[in-house]
A and B are shown apart, each in its own frame.
Chain A
Amino acid sequence: GESVGLHLPTLSVQEGDNSIINCAYSNSASDYFIWYKQESGKGPQFIIDIRSNMDKRQGQRVTVLLNKTVKHLSLQIAATQPGDSAVYFCAERPFSGGYNKLIFGAGTRLAVHP
C-alpha cells in the first residue's frame, strides 16, 4: 500500500515463511515493471522485472505477478530468510517515459524474524 513520510507499511514474517509484497501502480500505459530491494544505507538493488505482455515471471526464490486489469504488482519471496529484510520498492516505466525514467512506489519494509 501507499505510505506517507517515514511510516512505511511493514510486513513481518517468520524465517522460512513465504512473503508477499504488494504494489499498486499508477499508469496504465506503463510497459515495464521492476522490483528493487534496498538495504539500510545502500542503493536500490534489482531483484526481478516483468514486461507488460506477461503476467508472471519467476526467479530464484522470487516470483513477480502482474495484474494489468487492476494495475497491481506483487512480489512473492519463498522461504524468507533474515537477509531478505529490507525495504522493497516496485517501479514502473511509463511507455512514454523513455530512457529508464522509472517511477518508484512508496516501498514496503520486510522484517524477517528468526
Chain B
Amino acid sequence: EPEVTQTPSHQVTQMGQEVILRCVPISNHLYFYWYRQILGQKVEFLVSFYNNEISEKSEIFDDQFSVERPDGSNFTLKIRSTKLEDSAMYFCASTLQYTGELFFGEGSRLTVL
C-alpha cells in the first residue's frame, strides 16, 4: 500500500540551527501538507502546497519556515533558525484530490535544545 515517508524520524538540534525535514508523498498525489503536534497536544496545520506554491499557511508558519518541492518527489520543510518552541512532531501529509482523506506520514520528531 502506498505511503507517505518521512526522514529523519528524530532530529536533535541546537537552538538557532537550521533544520530540514524531508517527506516523500504518495507518488500520484497533488496536494501536500505539513502539520505539527507538540507533545500531548493537538495536531496543528502549518501549510498546504499545490501546483508548486503555497496554497495556505497558518500563523505558526512565519518567516522562519519554508517549504519546497525540489525534484517532483520530495517535499521539504525548512526551519531557518530553530527555537525551543519548535520542538514537536512534524507530520507530512498528501492527498490526491481536494478531499479530507489526508494520508499522513509517521512523523519526524524535532527536539530543539
Task: Name A residues whose Cβ lies closer than 8 Å to a Cβ of B.
Answer: 5-6, 8, 32, 34, 36, 41-46, 49, 89, 91, 93, 97-107
- Bound together, the chains give a CA A14 to CA B56 distance in angstroms of 43
Interchain CB contact (< 8 A) of A98 among B4, B41, B43, B56:
B56
Asked if A5 and B40 make an inter-chain contact with CB atoms under 8 angstroms apart, the answer reads yes
Asked if B101 and A46 make an inter-chain contact with CB atoms under 8 angstroms apart, the answer reads yes
What's the A-B contact tally at a CB cutoff of 8 Å?
Answer: 72
Would you give the shortest CB distance from A57 to chain B, in whole angstroms? 13
- Bound together, the chains give a CA A42 to CA B33 distance in angstroms of 16
Summarize A's interface: helix, strand, loop or mixed.
loop
With CB as the reference atom, state the residue of chain A lying closest to B105.
Answer: A43
Which of the 9-residue segments B11-19, B44-52, B64-72 touches chain A? B44-52
**Mind listing 30 A-B residue pairs with CB under 8 Å?**
A6-B39, A8-B40, A34-B100, A42-B107, A43-B105, A44-B43, A44-B91, A45-B104, A46-B100, A46-B101, A46-B103, A49-B100, A91-B43, A91-B100, A98-B48, A99-B31, A99-B48, A100-B31, A100-B93, A100-B98, A101-B45, A101-B48, A101-B56, A102-B45, A102-B100, A102-B102, A104-B42, A104-B43, A104-B44, A105-B42
Asked if A99 and B44 make an inter-chain contact with CB atoms under 8 angstroms apart, the answer reads no
Contact with A along B84-113 (1 / 0, CB 8 A): 000000010101001111111111000000
Chain A residues whose CB sits within 8 angstroms of the CB of B42 once the complex forms: 89, 104-107
Would you give the shortest CB distance from A18 to chain B, in whole angstroms? 25
- Bound together, the chains give a CA A8 to CA B41 distance in angstroms of 9
